[in-house]
Amino acid sequence: MRLFLLLLTLAALAVSATEAQTDSTRASSPEMTSGTLDSPDLPRFPASWATSDFLDPSLALPDTTPPAMPVRSTAHLLPENMSFMERGLWGESGFFRSIGIAGELTPEARKSELSARRVMLTMHQIGGFVTLGLLGATVYYGQRYLNYSDRTDRSKHQEFVTFAIVSYGLTGLLAVISPPPLIRRNETSTTTIHKTLAWIHFAGMVLTPIVGGMIRKRSGKFSYDDLATAHFHQVSAYITTGVFAASLVVITF
């Protein structure tokens, strides 16, 4: 028993001697640091203690730090492939943001913009059907006027021309100024075909009324040149209406 106690005492002494030597080594080593860099009077402790596990974890106070809120990046709020118009109007420093119509680019702001986009594109769809009807009526009365030279048909044709142009302009504007989508890839899809056809019928919608305005009917008859212009106007109107209808139908595929 005495031998055991003696061994225990020797072991304890050996351990304390080793620790004292280690501490003196740490005190003279360059890794020694002070409590803070600016307070040399504070007790000094070895830097390695900062990572040691000498503290009893059970004595640690509970961590009351609130969980970090998920940080949502604005990097993917706008698509990479934005058109010139979209970038100018809805880009991070676009026109609508600079004048305050749209807020700063945040997830919340983008959600509002996407809701607005949905409303605008739904109205664009409805406007497309209305415009197609108006274009059909315009073509019908234009054709009647060419066939029968009835002035009533001519005045109805011109009324529908006005309505069709206004409806077309508003419908197109809704799509052009709508906020950009979340995703846009480089691809050929029904939407890209729809947009390509839109460029064609837009050209037709500009050209056809200009040519129509050039037709002059004198003494109730077309001159040779005016008849040629009227035929050009007629063909242009049919093609424009056809392409417009195709751009509407293609979106359903």
Partner 1 sequence: MITRVLAVACAALVCAEAPAQVKHLACMKDQSSMTYRLVHPLHKIEATSKDVAYDLEADPVAHTFKHVSGTVDVTTFDSGNSNRDSHAMEVIDAIDYPDASFEGSGFVQRGDSLYANGKITFHGVTKDVTIASVPHWSEGKLEVDGSFTLSLTEFKIDRPSLLMIPVEDALSFTFTAVFGLQ
Positions touching partner 1 (CB under 8 A) are: 72, 76-77, 79, 107, 110-111, 114-115, 117-118, 122, 125-126, 181-185, 187, 189-191, 251-253
Q: How far apart are CA 234 and CA 142, in angstroms?
A: 8
Task: Give least dist CB 86 to partner 1, A.
Answer: 12
- Identify which of residues 105 and 207 has a Cβ nearer to partner 1 in the complex: 105
* Closer residue to partner 1 in complex, CB, 129/148: 129
- Residue 161 Cβ, how far from partner 1 at the closest point, in Å? 26
Taking the complex as a whole, the smallest distance from the CB of residue 105 to partner 1 amounts, in Å, to: 12
Minimum CB distance to partner 1, residue 107 (Å): 5
Whose Cβ is closer to partner 1: residue 47's or residue 248's? 248
Closer residue to partner 1 in complex, CB, 203/251: 251
Contact yes or no for 146/237 (Cβ under 8 A): no
Residues 243 and 45: their CA atoms lie apart, in Å, by: 82
Pull the structure tokens for residue 156.
């109805």
Residue by residue, DSSP assigns 135-178 as: HHHHHHHHHHHHHH--HHHHHHHHHHHHHHHHHHHHHHHHHHTS
Give the number of other Cβ atoms within 10 Å of residue 223's Cβ: 14
Alpha carbon distance 184, 190 (integer Å)? 13
Q: How far is the CB of 196 from partner 1 (least distance, A)?
A: 14
Pairing relationship of beta strands 221-222 and 45-46 according to DSSP bridges = unpaired
103 vs 213 by CB, closer to partner 1: 103
